[in-house]
Amino acid sequence: MNDDGSHSLEISQMRKSFGPNQVLKGIDLTVGKGEFVGLMGPNGAGKSTLIKILAGVYEASSGTIRLGGSAVRSLADSPDVGFIHQDLGLVDWLSIVENLSLGTPPKRLFGPILNKRAEREEARRALNRVGLKLPVDMLVGDLTPGEKTLVAVARVFDRGAKILVIDETTSTLPPAEANRVIRSLSAAAESGATVIMVTHKLSEILDASNRVLVLIDGELVHDTPTRGLDRASLVRMLMQHEAAGPGADSLAAGRSAGEGIIELRDVWLGKLGPVNLRLNAEEVVGLSGLPGSGLHDIAFAVNGNLAPDSGEVIPLRPGLKRALVPPHRESQGGFSTLTVRENMSVSALPRWRRIGRLIDPRRERSECADIAGELSVKPRSIDTPFDVLSGGNKQKVIFGRALLRQPDVFVLCEPTRGVDVQTRSEIYRLIRELTAKGAAVLVASSDAEDLFSVCDRVALVEDGRLQPLRHVSELTASELELMV
C-alpha cells in the first residue's frame, strides 16, 4: 500500500437514527492525505453525530468506515486519528502538562520512577508547535478559551495524529484566537496531515480549507473544491432551502429611536470607564471590541449583573425589565440537566402564575413551543433534554429564554456566536422585530457582521473606553470593517 492510501478515510452508506429521528441518511465520503476539509451545514444537520460515530462515541445504525483500506468500527483506537470535540475534553483542575499526558503511558526513568522532566520537555515542544508560550504547569482552568483549544490541538498533535477531526471548536472563540487555531491546523495540513473541520465561519472555510462539504438534514448535498468559491456562493450552498440570505437583510438605516430606556452615567467598573451610554426604545446599539476590552462588562452592567465601582446605571422607566444572552452559553447559559422548555421558561415563570404560586402549565407549554418554533429549535419537541442539542440550538434556546421575559431592554452578547448562516439571519430578523415592538437592544459582539446587519448606532470599546457612538448609515463598509 502506498503512503497516500495509508491514512485515507472512506465512509460509505453511513446511517444513524435516534429513535424515530433519522439523523444521517446514507453518507458516502472519501478523504485523502493532506486534505483540509471544511464540513458545514445548519445546526442540527448531523455534523456532530457523524463525527461522534467516527470517534466511537455513537454507533452507526448501518454503513462502513475504512481507514487505510481496512474496515474499522470507529477511528477511536487508531493512533493516527485525533479528535477535538466541542467540549475539548480537557480537565480544568489539572495543569497543561498533566492534560497533555492524560491517558498516555507515563514516561519512566526506570521501574516505577516517572520521568517528569521528559514529560515537561515534551509538553513544551507540543505547545511550541501550536505557537503557545505558556508555563506547562499552568492550570488549564486559568487559560482563555482560545488557549484551551490550542492545548487540545497540541495534545492531538503530540500523540502523532495524522488525521485531525475538529468539531466547531473555533466558533466560540474570539476572532484573533480562532485565527491562531486555524493557522496551526493549516500548517499541519501543509505538512501532510488530514484535517476535517466543522465550522460555520465562511472566512475560515475560504481561508483554510481546500474542499467543502455541506450536510443538510443528514445528507451530503455539496462536495466541492474551495477554490473558486466566495462568500456569496458558500451562503447559497448553505441556504438552498431558504429564499433570502443574510445579504437580503439590509440595514435598519435611517430609523429614528424612541424614548430613553436605560442610561449609564459616568460608570467605572474595574478597568472600564468612564462609560456614558443611553439606550433608547426601538433602537439597536452595537458595541464591539477585543477580548479584555471591557465590552462584555458594559453588557453586564446594563443588565445589572455587575455593579459599577462608581457612577450610576439609571432605569428611565418604572419597573424596567432586562434580559441577557450571555457570551459563553456553555458555562453561563443553559442548564444541561433540564429540558428545552425548562431552560426557556426558567426566568419567566411568574407570567404563567394563575392563583398564588400555581403556574398555568398549558400556557407555559404553548408559549415556549411558539418561541421554539419561531426560532426553529431542533429537535422540535420542547421536552428534549438541553444536553443533546447542538451548540447553535442551545444558543437559540437561551435566546428564547430572553424573549419569554418580554423585557424592555435586551442585552445580547455574541448573539450569533456558533450559529449557522440561516439561524444568523433568523436572529437578525428577530432583533429587528424586538425593536419594532418598542424594545431597546444592546448587542455586544466581536463579529463585524452583527454590527453591519442589525445595529443602528455602533461604537468600539478600546481598553475600557467607550468610543463615541456613530450611526451605521454614516459609516462606509470599510470603516466598519476597520472597527472590528
Ligand X SMILES: Nc1ncnc2c1ncn2[C@@H]1O[C@H](COP(=O)(O)OP(=O)(O)O)[C@@H](O)[C@H]1O
Question: Which residues of this protein are in contact with ligand X, per CB under 6 A?
Answer: 18, 21, 23, 41, 43-49, 378-379, 388-390, 392
- Buried/exposed code over 318-351 (b: 16+ C-beta within 10 A; e: otherwise): eeeebbbbbbebeeebbeeeebbbbbbbeebeee
Cβ atoms of residues 356 and 407 within 8 Å: no
Task: Using the structure block, give the residue that is written with the C-alpha cell 511550541.
Answer: 128
- For the chain, what's the residue count? 484
Q: How far is the CB of 304 from ligand X (least distance, A)?
A: 33
46 or 146, CB closer to Mg ion? 46
> Which range binds Mg ion by CB under 5 A, 40-48, 61-69, 105-113, 448-456?
40-48
54 or 100, CB closer to ligand X? 54
For residues 407 and 439, give the distance between their C-alpha atoms in angstroms, rounded to a whole number: 7
8 or 172, CB closer to Mg ion? 172
| DSSP state letter for 385 | B
Q: How far is the CB of 163 from ligand X (least distance, A)?
A: 19
Q: Which residues contact 371 (CB under 8 A, 6 or more apart)?
A: 344, 400, 403, 404
Cβ atoms of residues 409 and 322 within 8 Å: yes
375 or 389, CB closer to ligand X? 389
Q: How far is the CB of 17 from ligand X (least distance, A)?
A: 9
What single-letter amino acid sits at 396?
K
Cα–Cα distances (Å) from 119 to 80, 103, 112, in that order, read: 21, 13, 15
Going by C-alpha positions, the residue among 148, 180, 146, 168 that lies closest to residue 292 is 146
* Sign of the Cα pseudo-torsion (364, 366, 369, 370, in order): negative
Q: Using CB distances below 5 to 8 A depending on partner kind, what does residue 46 bind out of Mg ion, ligand X, none?
A: ligand X
The answer to the question of residue 101 lying near Mg ion (CB under 5 A) is no
**E strand map for 290-417:** 310-315, 322-325, 409-413
Q: Using CB distances below 5 to 8 A depending on partner kind, what does residue 335 bind out of Mg ion, ligand X, none?
A: none
Q: How far is the CB of 279 from ligand X (least distance, A)?
A: 33
Q: How far is the CB of 376 from Mg ion (least distance, A)?
A: 16
23 or 460, CB closer to ligand X? 23
The answer to the question of residue 48 lying near Mg ion (CB under 5 A) is yes
Q: How far is the CB of 57 from ligand X (least distance, A)?
A: 9
Cβ atoms of residues 411 and 401 within 8 Å: no
Q: Using CB distances below 5 to 8 A depending on partner kind, what does residue 378 bind out of Mg ion, ligand X, none?
A: ligand X
Angular region, 356: left φ>0, alpha ψ -120 to 50, beta rest: left
Per-position x/- string for 379-408, each x denoting binding to Mg ion as judged by CB under 5 A, each - no binding: -----------x------------------
Q: Using CB distances below 5 to 8 A depending on partner kind, what does residue 379 bind out of ligand X, Mg ion, none?
A: ligand X
135 or 373, CB closer to ligand X? 373
Q: Using CB distances below 5 to 8 A depending on partner kind, what does residue 400 bind out of Mg ion, ligand X, none?
A: none
For residues 169 and 175, give the distance between their C-alpha atoms in angstroms, rounded to a whole number: 12
Task: Using the structure block, give the residue that is written with the C-alpha cell 520537555.
Answer: 121
The grid coordinates listed for 8 are: 485515507
Going by C-alpha positions, the residue among 124, 129, 121, 197 that lies closest to residue 157 is 129
Taking CB positions, which residue lies at the least distance from ligand X?
390
Q: How far is the CB of 385 from ligand X (least distance, A)?
A: 8
124 or 396, CB closer to Mg ion? 396
47 or 148, CB closer to Mg ion? 47
169 or 303, CB closer to Mg ion? 169
Element (H, E) at 435: helix 421-436
Q: How far is the CB of 50 from Mg ion (least distance, A)?
A: 9
Task: Using the structure block, give the residue that is written with the C-alpha cell 453561563.
Answer: 332
Q: How far is the CB of 384 from ligand X (least distance, A)?
A: 7
Chain residues binding Mg ion by CB under 5 A are 47-48, 390
